[in-house]
A and B are shown apart, each in its own frame.
Chain A
Amino acid sequence: MNGRERILAHLAGAPVDRLPIMPITMQYAADQIGVKYIDYVTDHRVLVEAQLRTAEIFDIDYVSVISDPAREAADCGAKVEFFDDQPPAFIEDHALLAERTSLASLKIPDPLGGGRMLDRIQAAALFKEKVGKDKLIEGWIEGPCAEGSDLRGINTLMLDFFDDPVFIRDLFEFVIEMELRFARAQIDAGVDIIGIGDAAASLVGPQIYEEFVWPYEKRLIDGVKAMGAKVRLHICGNTRFALEGMGRLGCDIVDLDFPSPVHEGRAKMGPDQVLLGNLNPVTILMDGTVQDVLDKVAQCHNEAGPRFIVGAGCEVPRGTPPENLKAMLEYAKGVKG
């Protein structure tokens, strides 16, 4: 089986020759071909080359367009700070929606309009051309809480949940429509699965998650699935309060970051949900030994059961020893599904 066949079969509940592995690599991938990260995030050809090389070295079953959370907001007109060799980031003091009233006049950018969203779509198309039959191709969009934070400023958004719930709903409506258009364009370009990153959702607690975040995540996921793509949900951080809800979203894959125990995910989401994770990227993958990685993957697999994909809780950190990343494959090879 090749990586694409392996992941799709596993998601369908069919037998596989080994467990799929899907660790998120971004800066780590750039390092594999010796490029600065600014080139990775600004030139899809560099991103694709780095992803292909990384997938080849570590026999990773998929490739991804994920690079940073600032694609959509940049095309909306948000001020983004670029760094030479690390991910771009937002300056909250200059948030695009520093004034809530600005939302009314904010236009959804055309994903094909020549900005940072187009560069990602071009990456998807190039992946399709180069490895469309061999590797699962992952597109990427932001979830409502994450993109809302990017546009409004994360500190301010957290207060908005109490100060102006109507604004939150208006903002999330805007985000959902924009992200679905972005997903559509990536799917048209050839991606098999859409990853949805909603990092800020892990900060909000159970009440806000259920009332404000979950309904929009659900609409986003339903929308992407209606387009025919698979969905992977990735919420960085501690999601223990939200696991049950995450299990009701209908995702094909739910990632668990290291603060969210796999056995809790399994208990809250039932036996059928495919879980991915949750090696501690720093203490296990980067700072641990090969044996630490093997032991931890085995523990995660044991807690998750057969509906499991090997991966880290979040991005593989730059500086991770190659042998530690290879240990994921070593474990996966020993397991037929």
Chain B
Amino acid sequence: MSDSKKQFGVLAEYETVDEILSAAAKVRDAGYTKWDCYTPMPVHGLDDAMGVKQTRLPWFTLCAGLTGASLGLLMQWWMNAVDYPFLTSGKPQWSLPANIPVIFELTILFSALTTFFTMWIMNNLPRWFSPLARVERFARATDDRFFIAIETADPIFNAASAESLLKETGAHAIEAVEDPDESAAPPTWFRHALMIAGTGLIIPLMIIAYARFSTQDQPRIHLVPDMDFQEKYKAQNPSPLFEDGRAARPQLAGTFAMEDDHLVLEDPGYYTGKVDGEYLTEIPMPVTRELLERGRERFMINCAACHGYDGSGNGTVHKRALSLQTAGWIPPSNLHQAYIAAQPKGQQFESISDGIRNMPGYKAAITTEDRWAIVAYLEALQGIEEAGAQQLWGAAPAVEDAGPVDSDPLVAKGRELYTSKTCIACHSLDGTKLVSGSFLGLAGSERKFTDGTTAIADEAYLNESITNPNAKIVEGYTPGLMVIPPITDEEREALVAFIMSLKQ
């Protein structure tokens, strides 16, 4: 065609499936390649009639499916077994069966998305405009008519021969189709709208990316603050909830922290063991056999774990601490020590109630009456020592060896102080090294110090070491390790005598 306008091709209209099937075969046989049939629904047999080759689309689907499966497998393995190992119910960190469902779903998802989008891309869709859309009759291609269009782009296209070929196929109408280039693209406003929308979508992502990969001196923006910013007490900060800024509220005047606290006012001796600052010397109730039995029972439950069944201070917890060589372990007191036996009953009651040294108070765990029962039992326990503790509570738990009997009373007192003044925590008596060296064989041995000098451990040395532990530091130790509880000169003397008695 020699028109000034460019031609797209020639269009022919048919009315039935049979017509287009035979027409398509003829056009195919004529050797055209750039042509197509347009039908309102897929027509069976038309692929053969046109010579359309089988599409490669399924291969894309297959590849996508394999990609989805491998990615699903890798993702779960990396996320749950490598990057953030999840330990649940002792199950293996990586077990394939539990990961099959997600792998399966991702296989399907990847395949379906790829199939969908690849199909449109292969079909050159979406397109804004088709030259055929300008032809009025072509609107029926999606209704009830069938069309064939041979395009001018075909290498063997010739307007006259194409038209005569289509006429031969029995077309009901034939017309030349123009190719209005200017309409091929979407209108400018549409493109602008798309660009603005596209840019608008990117902005939030850019903001997130910027926020993620940059540092700011302002706190992060929390869209939903949850518990991050609620009013609450934080360590080393005043509490925002009270005017005075205190988080731990002082007790209000005239109130009691615990339910029975008001009873203290009614009977302070019974409830605190003290009246006007003076300890009760007697148990404020009749000491009956029932009370003693109760006291023994409570003692076995609450006290024996540390103080031992016989009250010697050699309970299971203590033995365990020694075997673990726990640094700084302060041993439970031997309740048979004279100074404890000599304490007023009120003071023993107070120790049980409020605790002493590292022993916690048992006021919350043992009722007042039971605490007095324990105090009563304690007296029985102390009194019975000489008779042998076994008689008191039968033969069940073995009685600990009471240890060597010291003939020298000074050494005996030193042995007592060795426990009560907590030397036992770091120094053993059997040659084993705890935190520090054993007392066994210390006396008379040669000490090597960090400054290179040496000395024999005599009484003078021991006295100096107890008074001023940091004066000379034995090789292999650091200054400041040894801490001494308050100690009198007599007590020091006894301790030195005790250590000297362990000479080998």
> A and B: partners?
no
Which residues of B does A touch, CB under 8 Å?
Answer: none
